[in-house]
Structure 1
Amino acid sequence: MLDVLVIGGGNAALCAALMAREAGASVLLLESAPPEWRGGNSQHTRNLRCMHDAPQDVLIEAYPEEEYWQDLLKVTGGLTNEHLARLTIRASSECRDWMRSHGVHFQPPLSGALHVARTNAFFMGGGKALVNAYYRSAEKLGVKIRYNAAVDRLDIRDGRFVAAHTGDERIEARSCVLAAGGFESNREWLREAWGQNADGEWPADNFLIRGTAFNKGVLLKHMLDEHHADSIGDATQAHMVAIDARSPMYDGGICTRIDCVSLGVVVNKQARRFYDEGEDFWPKRYAIWGRLVAQQPGQTGYSIIDAKAVGRFMPPVFPGVKADSLPELARKLGLDEITFMQTLNDYNAACRIGTFDHTALDDCHTEGVLPAKTHWARPLDTAPFYGYALKPGITFTYLGLKVNDSAAVHFGGQPSPNLFVAGEMMAGNVLGKGYTAGVGMSIGTAFGRIAGTQAAQAAIKSGVHLAAS
């Protein structure tokens, strides 16, 4: 009998498959996508947030455990399991050598506008290269891989995994790792979670999906509805980013993100500001803006900058709407000119200019205007002016399966002896809300490796038991 079945094909699934195989287990990995789309959202990633107490290979200075934890605590607002979060943080400090052993390469420290050379290790070639490296290594080690193999249901008896069904085929295994992603590409489930607003709109209809079209959440829903697995998280919470409204429905990836929010102002369709654009550094706070935009009329916002911001942020793939004056920009964006100018004039008059420094929490702020802008507040007064229409872009959802530090799925508070989960399907244990750059890969790598190791041990134990009997 097969030892370990891994369901999923992204970073967490691959880490699990590799660890299980290294532990001596026979492993079959089922990826729902075809080969050209393998890897789920991992193919769109770029980096891993890493704890380190001193300069290490591609990481500068230090990023100690407590600072990492405080960053995570801040963005989640306390909606996180500290024990599992710290487990993830510590694991992030010791996984790079293992990743290299499976063909992953890291690029030299970055500098400039991203400000993450200290906290994040970037993959050479991005997530696509990482996924390809892991698949090559898995194949070399003897992991069996099948594509176009979506799993829609499991056989589970008394909390113990028995078999999985893909199409008309039933696959038995001594243990199983679930790493099939969230439900972000399931429009019906998103509609159900977000409901209708007071205007009769379905906000989810205006969401774009930054990543894979294959994360339908079929297996997650099956586990929750049919097997009543213990859940964690809120169905409306997700890694949701403000992206260019012209982005494709799926797989737009990093290039669709609009990174100039902190350098200007953001207004809604009514031409009014609605949140502090300078709350914190962009790599820590960029992921709140998708949800903020989702709460605006028509799930639309507009990021407005002037010429002073150009060159200080990663340019998106689409050029912004350009104008020689603010009234002209309002007209081009289809915003009410009078309200727009009142908003911008109020903001400009409220700016208290100190020493502008986008690499630090500077003293440029507003006074006498709501919402305040607490850092990097400078008047928008230098032509040309640019505007970017924004829509919410979902990367992955946070509703998932509750786990312990062995990555075991729980039923009625009891951990399964042979069913484990990793990646997006359990990220809500660490991410109740919010996001900070690179932490998704940290969670997937940490719990993928744990799940693979535990699954191999469970399978070997089961095999010994069967042989003895």
Structure 2
Amino acid sequence: MFDVLVIGGGNAALCAALMAREAGASVLLLEASPREWRGGNSQHTRNLRCMHDAPQDVLADAYPEEEYWQDLLKVTGGATDEALARLVIRASSTCRPWMRQHGVRFQPSLSGALHTARTNAFFMGGGKALVNAYYRSAERLGVEVRYDTPVDRLELRDGRFSAAYSGTRRFSARSCVLAAGGFESNREWLREAWGMNERGEHPADNFLIRGTRFNTGTLLRFMIDAGADTIGDATQAHMVAIDARAPLYDGGICTRIDCVSLGLVVNRDAERFYDEGEDFWPKRYAIWGRLVAQQPGQVAFSIIDAKAQGRFMPPVFPGTRAQTLPELAQALGLDVAAFMQTLDAYNAACQPGTFDHTALDDCHTVGLAPPKTHWARRIDTPPYHAYALRPGVTFTYLGLKVDETAAVRFGGRASPNLFVAGEMMAGNVLGKGYTAGVGMSIGTAFGRIAGTRAAQSALQENVRAAA
């Protein structure tokens, strides 16, 4: 029998497995995917949002706790547990030396990478390199890893974990960490959560999944049915506006459209529906998937002109290009008259100012609803480009309620040997909204806590058994 069983194969699971092994526990990690797709959504990440009080290696200036907290408070609209959020924030300031010990390397923020040089530490080689480094370290330390092993149910008694099942295979352990992700790849659950809108559409039918196809929520559903305490809204998620041509799964970062703040966005009726310049893109990019999900047909179009070229990370697919705005509307299949009415009204509302995409500048609109608060410049310089957008779900926020111990709770009572980390509990910190890199901060903080606690629980059980 193993001391600690870790269910999942992404960042949170790996952090838990490494911490438990370092604490002296024997560890088995079960990953649902084949080896070549290991790592869950973490393989598509790029960075970790880090608190720091002074410049540090790859991080510029300072990003103190209170500013981090205010950023998180703003994007969540208050839908966050402050104590747990501050735990994550403080943990983000101390985890990088430990990450380096396990082979993770960092690099400075690249030019144009969403104003993140001060707030986010980027992984050299991206999330796939981080995941591979952790797996190499885990295997070197003696963590046993089994791939193609999706867990569908647990053996529980009065809130205590005994074993996990993958089909007919039974895996017993003295303690367990759940880190198997959300339910974003479960289309039926998404349809159930989002229902039918007033237009008779099932919005979830048009969602694309930015991350892994293996996060089906099977274990989360089991835990909910077993009476575990939950938190979060099933419709809330890290949901980004991505290229409508992206693949159904695993599109990752390269399908995200980052030019929204540099132009305007219209729906299929050629109408604007939100302030494209509300705030810096790292604090607002993750609301746009939900905004597009609320539009007719769950589609929208990001429109820019030549002045925006070179100011954003280009997506993998080139946009639709035209020399005139009416030609662009025709190419997009939009009503030309309605499109030109929207563009003319926007252009007329743009006020003279000093454009600065690195600051909350004074380029704004007047008399336009919705307004564009910053970076509002006339769209008048050919060639014009457009990108069709769809909602891209990264991970869902419905999860298991925890406190600072990461223990799963049943009726308010903490399990003595069952813990949870990562996307299965991220809703405690992210009730809604997102800011770049915070998902990795949550997974790293609670993965390390859960692994440590699981090892303590198992080793105490060993002592009791020996006595």
Normalising by the smaller structure, the TM-score range is over 0.9
Distance 1:387 1:109 in 2: 27
Aligned to 1:216: 216
Amino acid in the other structure paired with 1:434: G
List alignment gaps of at least 5 residues for structure 2. none
Contact in 2 for aligned 1:60/1:109 (Cα 8 Å): no
Aligned to 1:86: 86
Contact in 2 for aligned 1:209/1:249 (Cα 8 Å): yes
Alignment of 1:318-357 (within 5 A): 318-357=317-356
Pairing 1:39–2:39 present = yes
Q: 1:264-317: CA deviations, max 9, x gaps?
A: 000000000000000000011100000000000000000000000000000000
Following TM superposition, by how much is the alpha carbon of 1:413 offset from its aligned partner in structure 2, in angstroms? 0.6
Q: 1:348-397: CA deviations, max 9, x gaps?
A: 00001211000000000000110000000001000110110000000000
SS in 1 for 2:2: coil
Contact in 1 for aligned 2:280/2:360 (Cα 8 Å): yes
Contact in 1 for aligned 2:112/2:313 (Cα 8 Å): no
Distance 2:110 2:53 in 1: 18
Distance 2:205 2:429 in 1: 28
SS in 2 for 1:382: coil
Identical positions, percent: 80
Following TM superposition, by how much is the alpha carbon of 1:338 offset from its aligned partner in structure 2, in angstroms? 0.5
Aligned to 2:281: 282
Aligned to 1:234: 233
Q: 1:119-143: CA deviations, max 9, x gaps?
A: 0000000000000000000000000
Distance 1:124 1:114 in 2: 17
Alignment of 1:32-431 (within 5 A): 32-225=32-225, 227-431=226-430
Contact in 1 for aligned 2:243/2:389 (Cα 8 Å): yes
TM-score (norm 2): 0.99
Following TM superposition, by how much is the alpha carbon of 1:114 offset from its aligned partner in structure 2, in angstroms? 2.0
Alignment of 1:5-20 (within 5 A): 5-20=5-20
Aligned to 1:439: 438
Q: 1:217-247: CA deviations, max 9, x gaps?
A: 000000001x110000000000000000000
Following TM superposition, by how much is the alpha carbon of 1:199 offset from its aligned partner in structure 2, in angstroms? 2.0
Q: 1:332-358: CA deviations, max 9, x gaps?
A: 000000000000000000001211000
Following TM superposition, the consecutive aligned residue runs of length 4 or more in structure 1 with deviations greater than 6 angstroms are none
Distance 1:416 1:160 in 2: 6
TM-score (norm 1): 0.99
SS in 2 for 1:174: strand
Distance 1:34 1:419 in 2: 25
Contact in 2 for aligned 1:113/1:312 (Cα 8 Å): no
Distance 2:260 2:199 in 1: 27
SS in 1 for 2:127: helix
Q: 1:401-459: CA deviations, max 9, x gaps?
A: 00010100010011111000000000000000000000000000000000000000000
Q: 1:170-225: CA deviations, max 9, x gaps?
A: 11111000000000000000000000112221100000000100000000000001
Following TM superposition, by how much is the alpha carbon of 1:111 offset from its aligned partner in structure 2, in angstroms? 3.4
Following TM superposition, by how much is the alpha carbon of 1:113 offset from its aligned partner in structure 2, in angstroms? 4.8
Pairing 1:30–2:30 present = yes
SS in 2 for 1:416: strand
Contact in 2 for aligned 1:265/1:273 (Cα 8 Å): yes
Contact in 2 for aligned 1:33/1:148 (Cα 8 Å): yes
Distance 1:429 1:267 in 2: 33
Distance 2:56 2:203 in 1: 44
SS in 1 for 2:163: strand
Q: Once superposed, what is the RMSD of the aligned Cα atoms?
A: 0.6
SS in 1 for 2:118: coil
